[in-house]
């Protein structure tokens, strides 16, 4: 399902802020605000980048994913960096797999060639998820983050897709 700012900004904010406060899934210190989420959605809309989610039986958002620009140089136009987050009460139920599979399908639709995930190297669950779906370790940047009083290693996982069929320069 496609997420909209009107319907999903508040639960996305809640999921982001729980991850910021309690995990190394996102290398941030300060909670995001309604304004930063509005700016985030505006950037996604302006860039034509998907924001997808899963809802429970009551219609509450329980996980979401997106992808966007990897590096802002033209030759990287076929490469995206993705992220996905699952509400703390819904982890371990396969939702991450569903979201990532959908992102992979959207990337193929959008003629992406490489998907990149930056994952805290100690996040075994996320690494296992990515490896199950064909991602491979591309490299690790040691001690590139510092959070919760310790250095964090950032592992980059990539998935090479069979798209686009006819890439072009420019």
The number of folded domains in the chain is: 1
In a domain, 44, yes or no: yes
What local confidence, expressed as pLDDT, does residue 1 receive? 85
- Residue range 74-85: average pLDDT? 97
How does the average pLDDT of the chain come out, rounded?
97
Q: Which is nearest to 43 in space by CA: 68, 9, 80? A: 68
Nearest-angstrom CA–CA distance, 159 and 133: 9
pTM comes to: 0.95
- Check which CATH number belongs to the domain holding 16 and give it: 3.40.630.30
In a domain, 165, yes or no: no
- Residue range 48-63: average pLDDT? 96
In a domain, 12, yes or no: yes
Structural domain of residue 42, as residue ranges? 5-160
pLDDT at 57 over 90: yes
In a domain, 17, yes or no: yes
Residues 6+ apart with CB under 8 A from 79: 70, 71, 112, 113, 114, 115, 116
- Residue range 11-35: average pLDDT? 97
- Tell whether omega for the bond before 45 is within 30 degrees of 0, i.e. cis: no
In a domain, 167, yes or no: no
What local confidence, expressed as pLDDT, does residue 39 receive? 97
In a domain, 102, yes or no: yes
Nearest-angstrom CA–CA distance, 134 and 113: 14
What local confidence, expressed as pLDDT, does residue 170 receive? 82
In a domain, 166, yes or no: no
- Determine what percent of the chain is predicted with pLDDT higher than 90: 99
In a domain, 22, yes or no: yes
């Amino acid at each position: 399902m496609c997420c909209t700012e009107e319907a999903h900004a508040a639960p996305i904010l809640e999921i982001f802020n729980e991850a910021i406060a309690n995990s190394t899934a996102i290398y941030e210190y300060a909670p995001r605000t309604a304004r930063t989420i509005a700016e985030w959605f505006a950037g996604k809309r302006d860039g034509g980048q998907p924001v997808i989610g899963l809802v429970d039986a009551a219609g509450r958002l329980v996980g979401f994913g997106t992808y966007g620009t990897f590096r802002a140089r033209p030759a990287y136009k076929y490469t995206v960096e993705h992220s996905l987050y699952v509400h703390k009460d819904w982890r371990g139920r396969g939702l991450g797999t569903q979201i990532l599979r959908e992102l992979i399908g959207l990337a193929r639709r959008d003629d992406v060639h490489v998907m990149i995930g930056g994952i805290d190297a100690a996040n075994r669950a996320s690494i296992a998820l990515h490896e199950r779906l064909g991602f491979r370790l591309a490299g690790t940047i040691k001690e590139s983050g510092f959070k919760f009083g310790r250095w964090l290693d950032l592992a980059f996982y990539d998935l090479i897709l069979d798209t686009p069929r006819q890439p072009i320069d420019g």
